């Protein structure tokens, strides 16, 4: 099961594009929140802690992280070997 996230109603004003109480894919919402901050604050914005703070969101599902995740490739495209071919769309 994918990791999912739900916005807590008390923080709805901070995230106007999200509906409180609706479950979303956590990775997609993390990307949205991060991108929104970069647009608002500029490319020099720094992220400390989690992009989706547990004070603002509830989480469910997903597998527990084991070992060190620093530097691990998690994007799907990174799973393909370097120099691999892609189909033209």
On whether residue 86 sits in a domain, the answer given is no
Q: What is the pTM of this model?
A: 0.65
Q: What pLDDT does 15 receive?
A: 94
One pLDDT digit (tens) per residue for the chain, 89 residues:
789 999 999 999 999 999 999 999 999 999 999 999 899 999 888 888 889 999 999 999 987 666 555 544 444 444 445 554 545 54
On whether residue 18 sits in a domain, the answer given is yes
On whether residue 10 sits in a domain, the answer given is yes
Q: How, if at all, do strands 23-25 and 57-60 pair? A: unpaired
On whether residue 85 sits in a domain, the answer given is no
How far apart are alpha carbons 37 and 32 in whole angstroms? 9
Contact criterion met (CB below 8 Å) for 58 and 4? no
On whether residue 87 sits in a domain, the answer given is no
On whether residue 88 sits in a domain, the answer given is no
On whether residue 29 sits in a domain, the answer given is yes
Q: How many structural domains compose the chain?
A: 1
Q: What pLDDT does 62 receive?
A: 84
How far apart are alpha carbons 6 and 61 in whole angstroms? 12
| Residue-range definition of the domain harbouring residue 53 | 4-79
How far apart are alpha carbons 26 and 50 in whole angstroms? 12
Q: How far apart are the first and last CA of the chain?
A: 29
């Amino acid at each position: 099961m994918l990791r999912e996230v739900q916005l807590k109603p008390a923080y709805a004003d901070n995230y106007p594009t999200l509906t409180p109480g609706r479950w979303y894919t956590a990775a997609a919402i993390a990307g949205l929140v991060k991108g929104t901050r970069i647009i608002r604050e500029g490319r020099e914005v720094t992220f400390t802690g989690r992009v989706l703070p547990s004070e603002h969101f509830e989480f469910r599902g997903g597998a527990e992280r084991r070992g060190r995740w620093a530097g691990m490739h998690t994007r799907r495209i990174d799973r393909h070997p370097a120099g691999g071919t892609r189909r033209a769309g």
